[in-house]
Amino acid sequence: MSRGLNKVMIIGHLGRDPEMRYTPSGRPVTTFSVATSRSWTTNDGERHSETEWFNVVAWGNLAEICKQYLLKGQQVYIEGRLQTRKWEDSGGNKHLSVEIVASEMMMLGDHHDSNHLTQEESFSSSEETSDEFPY
């Protein structure tokens, strides 16, 4: 039997504060964006850098933890899987979105707010994701 693998790991900084909503069945879902950057030097000695943005979705208990502890600008490690979502808006326009469905989150770097954890903490989701979408 052949198996596939869909796993992604990123370390970056939050581009905005997490937003939490609830599905019609009451399940929490939190979304936020993470920016990753890389730098390199060309053969000519010229320095370049590039930033890539990722949309992240967390469900259930992990969604609540992300909303409670994460803030814009904070460095974070996210592990999960890539998911492609397709939808059509009210005007009939088709849209496509690729996002990371988080299964694990670890806060990195400094935590400046006393209401937030002061040590590096790791959280993971034990819940399976469903096909419910809050959008």
- The pLDDT value recorded for residue 123 is 61
Q: Domain residue spans in the chain? A: 8-40+48-124
| Global confidence as pTM | 0.77
pLDDT of residue 63: 97
Contact 56, 82 (CB under 8 A): no
29-66 residue pLDDT tens: 999 999 999 999 999 999 999 999 999 999 999 999 99
35 forms beta bridges with 13, 53
Residue 132 CB: number of other CB atoms within 10 A?
Answer: 12
Tell me the two tokens of residue 48: 């370049």
Which pLDDT value is given to residue 28? 98
CATH of domain 8-40+48-124: 2.40.50.140
d(CA 89, CA 69): 32
Residue ranges of the chain whose pLDDT lies below 70: 110-135
